[in-house]
Amino acid sequence: MTERYEIRVCGVFGPLLHVVFAELPGRVLGRESVIRGRLTDAELDRLLTRLDRCGLQVVRLDRIAG
């Protein structure tokens, strides 16, 4: 089953990270980047691993109703 998530990370996505995470819509809010998407548990786990490997610190992870 997929759930909708919003993930905030410290820092601003540069051009390379926009390419790496192109499958998820993202935007910049101040000093944070926000990505949203509908993910399974396994996809969320892989995404969090990718963020960590890119050196990005997850500030907040929310499941979005709907």
* pLDDT recorded at residue 13: 75
Q: What pLDDT, in 10s, does the model give residues 4-54?
A: 999 999 988 777 676 777 788 788 888 898 988 899 999 999 999 988 988
Top-confidence residue, 37 or 66: 37
* pLDDT recorded at residue 21: 75
Q: Kind and range of the H or E element at 8?
A: strand 3-10
Residue indicated by tokens 């980047």: 33
* pLDDT recorded at residue 26: 81
* pLDDT recorded at residue 7: 92
DSSP-based three-state secondary structure for 11: coil
Domains within the chain, CATH numbers bracketed: 3-64 (3.30.70)
Rounded to 5 degrees, what are φ and ψ at 20?
A: -60, -40
